[in-house]
Amino acid sequence: MGRLEGKYALITGGTSGIGFETARQFIAEGAIVAITGRNQAALLAAKEVLGNVQIINSDAGDIHQQRALSEQLAQLWPRLDVLNVNAGDVTHHSLEEWDESSYDRLMNTNLKGPFFLIQALLPMLSNPSSVIVCGSVSAHIGLPQSSVYAASKAAILSLARTLSGELKAKGIRVNGLSPGPTETPALSKLGNGASDQPLRDEIRALVPVGRLGSTLELAKAAVFLASDESAFMVGSELLMDGGVKNI
């Protein structure tokens, strides 16, 4: 029997990178899985590979779509055992380059949308259930050009602690999964493409173990947080960063 046998699990931003691999590992462990994404073609491509997965077109930064996502899921499933809030905006800019619309777009995707998604899904979350929010080692270090991104991740990790305190009586535990530099398609979207090669090199140089993380390593960590094996982990953070923060 798989570690997630019979659990209903929703993964936002599940069409590529860590979210996609997490969906694959959840399915392998026996979970009933739904993934979201903004691009219908990418959703269909993911389903082609993953097989038995529910796909839902949803923009993680749009509050109205978070409520619609909850309503749609309630029509499909009797409950929700695992919520993996994985969708994110990884834009990095210097302080001078940020404008209000870009700031709002990142914060809506990384913080505001997830908050209201959890709120909307609250009636569906079972007792017990696991909510996993996507943090980042950037919340702990002073990486240049990461100001807005790092602030959003520090906030979502704080949310894991406060919501765990608020929701513990309902059997809902909230934890953060914080990747370090990981080899994903998002790595090429940090700023302005080819001109950001120096930033990419700087990020790689941060990792004491000498390599980037893999999506499989992060997905395996998500399986642990989703499973009953982590039942005593509440309002905490699992940092998978190759030693970036501590070495």
Active-site choice (8, 26, 116, 149): 149
- 89 CB-contact burial (10 Å; exposed 0-12 / middle 13-18 / buried 19+): buried
d(CA 222, CA 217): 9
Partners of 178 in beta bridges = 239
d(CA 111, CA 103): 12
DSSP 139-179: GTS--TT-HHHHHHHHHHHHHHHHHHHHHGGGTEEEEEEEE
The question of whether 149 is a catalytic residue gets the answer yes
- Helices 113-121 and 63-76, packing angle to 10 deg: 30
How far, rounded to the nearest angstrom, does the alpha carbon of residue 55 sit from its chain's CA centroid? 16
Catalytically active residues are 149
